[in-house]
Each structure stands twice: as C-alpha cells, then as structure tokens.
C-alpha cells in the first residue's frame, strides 16, 4: 500500500471520538509531498510484515525480532504460557539491558550467577527462578504453542491445536487446508498459523528450544469416556475445591469445552461463590446452572 507524506486530508468523527480519514485534498499538493510505501518486510529483522484485511497496523511476524524481544519474553513466561515464576517485566528488562538474553531460548541458558547478580543477596531468588525455568521445560505442548504469541492463537485454540497435532513438528508441517477444517480455526487464523511456521525465525527458535530440552509433545490424554462431548461449560464465581484451570482441564478431559461468556449455546454454568453477571444471564436464558457439588458428582 502506498501513502503520501504531506498530503492534506479530510477527516470525520467515526463513532464517538475516533477520527477517520475519508479523502485527500489533491488540489492542495505543491510538490513537497513524498511517496511512502508500507514495507513488506520488518526494517529491524527482515521478517515478513503483515497487514491483515480491515486493520490499520502492519505487524512483524518474526518471533526473534529484537524490537519485539521484551514483549515476546513477557508473554512466553506468563502464567498461561510457560509459567516461569519470578520472570517478571522488571527482571526481563534488566536481563535484556545486561545482554544476558538476546532471544527467548536464552532464558534456558541463564546461570545461577546470572540471575543472582540481578538482586542484592539474590541467591534464594536465583534458585527459585532456576527451578521455575527447569519446570517450564516440561510443560504440555499447548502451553508452548500459546507461548509463541501466534496472532489469533490464545490458550483455548492452543489446546485445540495440541489435540489435533500431538507434536510441535506435526503442527509445523500442517498445511493451510488442514488447519481450516479444525474447530475454531477460520481462514484468517489458518493463514496466520501457516505463515508463522514458514518463517526462518520460527524454525530457528524451535530448534534452539529443542536443543535446551523444552518438551515438544502433548502430554495430557483425553479420556475415552467422552461424557461431555459437545457440551459447553461456563465457569463463574469462586470455587472451593478447584481452580478455574483445574475445572477446565477436567471438562476438557471428558471431551467438553469451556467458554468465557454465556449464550444460548451454553449447556452448563458452573457457579461458585459470589457469581455475578454470568449467573444472571444464565438464569435469563434458561441455561442449566450447577453447583460445585453437582459438578463433582458429574465427574465421578
């Protein structure tokens, strides 16, 4: 796409606040304007730069791009990804500033001394983080898929992909056509996933992660008892005997799905203490509401 610097444009208010460009005043051009073409490659790392249909922004999809390193590592280490406890934003910034890490895989090359140097009397902190880093190597495949920050792929879709493709290698080699037939994967998402795994930076990072011992296979098996097959659950309120993640895993183990919002397609709402608007909506729609005790009985 080509733009012209220095043009005068006509704008209008779109919605309540956002200005929208509706046209160019070409008669105001005086020859000082400069043509600018949006790059198809990232100017920092050379990876493909993509502008999706209907969006204004252009995104670099290189996972090892230095310009994205800080945010990429924050996401990689987050709870729903590789869950590296202690590797927070301030620590990540300091590791990058001290050039102790220059890509995601460098997390697994950090030494006890590297981490301890970040804090005064930091030996206990360093040991805890070393333990968390080692533990993250053994996370399930869906956690690794989510950690890569693939556009349109969150934790739920990562779990779906890990059910269809039992190893990272299988997912890497999946074609666009194969991806399109998977539940919850539309054409745009399939294209995004396919393009992501074609990138040399992606191949390089995955090779590095394999070399340091990060798990590349699905660990959890789905039960042959598919009692919740096709059923959609919504969790709301505070549960006494389960975390949200534990309850979701049980539902998925028996072939069910979880959703973050209540609709006519919802089969059950598992309501804990202090359930709020989701419970109210379930009552309005006539969705079956179950208690934690009823859920335990359903999963015996």
Here the tokens at position 258 are 């979880």
Same fold, 66-136 and 232-298: no
Dist CA 237 CA 73 (whole Å): 31
Dist CA 242 CA 273 (whole Å): 12
For residue 4, pLDDT beyond 80: no
User: What is the value of pTM for the model shown?
Assistant: 0.73
| pLDDT tens, residue by residue, 26-73 | 888 888 888 878 888 999 999 988 888 777 788 998 999 999 999 999
Supply the DSSP string of 128-187, one letter for each residue: HHHHHHHHHTT--HHHHHHHTT-TT--HHHHHHHHHH-SBHHHHHT--HHHHHTSTT--H
| pLDDT tens, residue by residue, 192-216 | 999 999 999 999 999 999 999 999 9
Domain boundaries, the chain: 2-60, 66-136, 142-211, 232-298
Taking the domain 66-136, which CATH number applies?
1.10.150.20
pLDDT band at residue 2, thresholds of 50, 70 and 90?
A: low
The CATH topology of domain 232-298 is Rossmann fold (3.40.50)
For residue 1, pLDDT beyond 70: no
Q: Which CATH superfamily is domain 142-211 in?
A: 5' to 3' exonuclease, C-terminal subdomain (1.10.150.20)
């Amino acid at each position: 796409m080509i733009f012209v610097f220095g043009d005068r444009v006509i704008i209008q208010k779109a919605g309540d606040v956002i200005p929208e460009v509706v046209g160019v005043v070409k008669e105001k051009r005086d020859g000082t304007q400069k043509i600018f073409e949006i790059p198809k490659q990232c100017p920092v790392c050379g990876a493909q730069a993509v502008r999706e249909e209907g969006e204004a922004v252009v995104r670099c999809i290189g996972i090892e791009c230095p310009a994205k390193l800080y945010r990429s590592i924050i996401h990689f280490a987050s709870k729903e990804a590789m869950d590296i406890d202690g590797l927070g934003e301030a620590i990540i910034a300091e590791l990058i500033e001290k050039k102790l890490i220059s890509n995601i895989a460098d997390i697994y090359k950090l030494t006890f001394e590297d981490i301890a140097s970040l804090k005064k009397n930091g030996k206990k902190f360093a040991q805890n983080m070393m333990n968390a880093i080692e533990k993250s190597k053994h996370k399930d495949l869906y956690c690794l898929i989510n950690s890569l920050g693939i556009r349109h792929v969150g934790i739920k879709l990562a779990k779906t992909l890990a059910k269809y493709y039992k190893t990272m290698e299988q997912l890497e080699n999946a074609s666009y056509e194969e991806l399109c037939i998977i539940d919850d994967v539309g054409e745009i998402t399939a294209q995004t996933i396919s393009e992501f795994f074609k990138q040399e930076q992606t191949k390089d990072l995955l090779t590095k992660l394999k070399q340091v011992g990060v798990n590349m296979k699905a660990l959890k098996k789905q039960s042959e008892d598919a009692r919740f097959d096709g059923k959609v659950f919504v969790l709301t309120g505070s549960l006494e005997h389960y975390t949200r993640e534990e309850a979701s895993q049980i539902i998925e183990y028996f072939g069910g799905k979880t959703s973050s919002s209540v609709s006519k397609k919802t089969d059950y709402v598992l309501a804990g203490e202090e359930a709020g608007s989701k419970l109210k909506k379930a009552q309005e729609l006539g969705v079956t509401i179950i208690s934690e005790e009823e859920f335990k009985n359903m999963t015996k």
